[in-house]
């Protein structure tokens, strides 16, 4: 039998590294941290083989700074980290948003806060990913649930970063990072790989930050013939800093709108279970795997339950959540934190008493049995 090289047996971290390189990334800068280190390790092996660059940095601040620099030089670039490292990267993530430097940050969540438990999982970086950097801003955060999705959504993260010229965060966790499963890989020719647009010619009146029809400017690389001025300050279409209220307001509105207005590009929720549910479970990442098994068991016992799995956490899919929950008797939100996504579900206008959290914040993964028990409890209310 002929060997099929497209099928691999990978752990989540390896799938992320391979997905990034398949998407065209040729630059990685990072600092080892549990439970994300295998992404840096595999990138250090594969990137030089493909003409790319791997840099071992002195810390996470330097890592994201190097990634932004490589991106502005024209390379697809990424880094990986975990909670404490994500905290250190936040100021530069804000700079990348303002400078419109596309890049991908893979954050493998571990139990926190602070150094917490380095080898145990958590899902408590949801709000840190959304609001960790200061100021009004849009952000894209994707959350895989399987090793296959670690590969697929890393590629999608690069596509969104390049299309919208923005940093994108991939949010995995310690359990998924070290889970090993079959992954079907593809070549870049078999995929729709997006690369950023660049100006076609040198013109005297070229303005690098003048937005295109979709609100995204067409920027040159550093070193091209067109001049590129980069700053984290409020800037005009030429890239010059300015404190003018009109310019500041227009810029922040555009940076928000280019993300919030592009939700049609984001991976959409996946649904499993009953098509006429009394109970809807909303979950993401490793908790969605337990939720799916709980839904299967509930369906087998005659309970109409359905899982809504969120591959895109930010921008939060408000309309899809409202549609999915409108006729449900109860909505359970399963997550390994104290209720970060649960608050967003309630903010969608779902009747407050109908939304119930199924939470663990103690280094352990939520089990299908715990979710099934929560389903039974809301059924008898």
**What is the reported pTM?**
0.97
Residue 247, Cβ density class (10 Å: 0-12 exposed, 13-18 middle, ≥19 buried): middle
Q: Which of 180, 154, 254 is nearest to 214 (CA)?
A: 254
What gap in Å lies between CA 41 and CA 38, rounded to an integer?
Answer: 5
User: What per-residue confidence (pLDDT) applies to 188?
Assistant: 85
Q: Cis bond leading into 328, ω under 30°? A: no
Q: Are 81 and 36 in contact (CB under 8 A)?
A: yes
For 139, residues 6+ apart whose C-beta sits below 8 A from its C-beta are 97, 129, 130, 166, 167, 169, 259, 314
Give kind and range of the element (H or E) at residue 96.
Answer: helix 83-99
Helix (H, G, I), strand (E, B) or coil at 320: helix
Residue 8's H or E segment, with its range, is: strand 7-11
Cα–Cα distance measured from residue 348 to residue 332, given in angstroms and rounded to the nearest whole number = 14
Residue count of the chain: 381
pLDDT score for 3: 76
- Specify the pLDDT at position 350: 92
Q: Could you give the count of Cα atoms lying within 13 Å of 50 in the half-sphere of its Cβ?
A: 18
Tens digit of pLDDT at every position of the chain (381 positions): 677 889 999 999 999 999 999 999 999 999 999 999 999 999 999 999 999 999 999 999 999 999 999 999 999 999 999 999 999 999 999 999 999 999 999 999 999 999 999 999 999 999 999 999 999 999 999 999 999 999 999 999 999 999 999 999 999 999 999 999 999 999 988 999 999 999 987 777 889 999 998 999 999 999 888 888 999 999 999 999 999 999 999 999 999 999 999 999 999 999 999 999 999 999 999 999 999 999 999 999 999 999 999 999 999 999 999 999 999 999 999 999 999 999 999 999 999 899 999 999 999 999 999 999 999 999 876
Sign of CA dihedral 331, 361, 174, 35: positive
Q: Is the peptide bond before 257 cis (omega within 30 degrees of 0)?
A: no
**What are the start-end ranges of the H helices in the chain?**
12-22, 37-49, 60-72, 83-99, 126-131, 147-164, 174-178, 245-260, 285-300, 318-325, 340-347, 368-379
Q: What is the model's pLDDT at position 381?
A: 65
The pLDDT of residue 380 is 78
Distance CA 346, CA 352 (A): 6
């Amino acid at each position: 039998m002929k060997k099929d090289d497209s099928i691999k047996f990978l752990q989540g971290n390896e799938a992320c590294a391979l997905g990034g390189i398949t998407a065209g990334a040729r630059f990685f800068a990072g600092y080892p941290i549990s439970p994300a280190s295998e992404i840096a390790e595999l990138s250090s092996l594969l990137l030089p083989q493909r003409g790319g660059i791997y840099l071992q940095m002195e810390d996470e601040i330097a890592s994201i700074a190097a990634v932004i620099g490589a991106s502005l030089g024209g390379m697809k670039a990424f880094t990986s980290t975990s909670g404490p490292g994500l905290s250190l990267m936040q100021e530069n993530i804000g700079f990348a948003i303002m400078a419109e430097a596309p890049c991908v940050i893979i954050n493998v969540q571990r139990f926190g806060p602070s150094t917490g438990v380095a080898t145990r999982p958590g899902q408590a970086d949801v709000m840190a990913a959304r609001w960790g950097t200061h100021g009004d801003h849009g952000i894209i955060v994707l959350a895989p649930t399987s090793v296959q999705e670690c590969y697929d959504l890393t590629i999608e993260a690069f596509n969104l970063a390049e299309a919208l010229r923005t940093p994108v965060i991939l949010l995995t966790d310690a359990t998924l990072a070290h889970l090993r499963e079959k992954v079907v890989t593809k070549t870049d020719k078999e995929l729709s790989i997006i690369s950023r647009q660049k100006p076609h010619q040198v013109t005297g009146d070229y303005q690098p930050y003048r937005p295109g029809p979709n609100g995204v400017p067409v920027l040159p690389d550093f070193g091209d013939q067109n001049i590129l001025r980069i700053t984290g300050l409020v800037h005009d279409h030429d890239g010059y800093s300015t404190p003018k209220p009109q310019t500041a307001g227009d810029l922040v509105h555009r940076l928000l709108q280019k993300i919030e207005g592009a939700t049609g590009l984001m991976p959409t929720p996946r649904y499993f279970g009953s098509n006429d549910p009394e109970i809807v479970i909303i979950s993401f990442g490793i908790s969605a795997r337990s939720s799916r098994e709980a839904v299967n068991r509930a369906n087998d016992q005659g309970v109409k339950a359905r899982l809504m799995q969120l591959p895109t956490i930010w921008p939060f899919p408000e309309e899809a959540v409202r549609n999915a929950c409108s006729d449900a008797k109860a909505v359970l939100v399963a997550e390994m934190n104290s209720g970060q996504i649960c608050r967003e579900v309630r903010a969608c206008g779902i009747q407050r008493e109908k939304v119930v959290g199924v939470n663990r914040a103690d280094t352990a993964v939520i089990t299908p049995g715990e979710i099934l028990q929560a389903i039974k409890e809301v059924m008898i209310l």
